[in-house]
Amino acid sequence: MTSRFYLGIPREEIAWNPAIDEEKCIGCGQCFEVCPNNVFAMDEASGKMKVVNPQNCVVLCDKCKAFCDQEAISFPDKEAVKRFIAERLRAAAARAKDAEL
């Protein structure tokens, strides 16, 4: 698998992707239609949408949530994820500065 990065941070270390509440999902396909990144796939057996490629979700995007009339899509706390990213960037900057000394 190819490693992916967001602002130099390994993508898999950033906890940002949608979750679907199966109780609420009616399998309408709106989220699948709106996302170009193959994050979702329909589970034919259950008739519910599944998150199959969470790492494909664009960090801090939450567009699909607005298209789910059932309010079945949720995301982690955006501000907490922003703080995590900012902290990682500060740590990387400090390491780079130390390396210059």
Q: Which residues bind ligand SF4 (CB under 6 A)?
A: 18, 20, 25-31, 34-35, 37, 39, 49, 57-58, 61-64, 67-68, 70, 72-73
> Taking the mean position of all CA atoms in its chain, how far away is CA 61?
7
CB nearer ligand SF4, residue 78 or residue 90: 78
Q: How far is the CB of 95 from ligand SF4 (least distance, A)?
A: 30
Q: How far is the CB of 71 from ligand SF4 (least distance, A)?
A: 8
Q: Count the Cβ atoms, other than its own, within 10 Å of residue 18.
A: 23
Q: How far is the CB of 39 from ligand SF4 (least distance, A)?
A: 4
CB nearer ligand SF4, residue 45 or residue 96: 45
Give the β-pairing of 48-51 and 9-10.
Answer: unpaired
The residue among 37, 46, 42 whose CA lies nearest residue 16 is: 37
Look at residue 79 and give its three-state secondary structure: helix
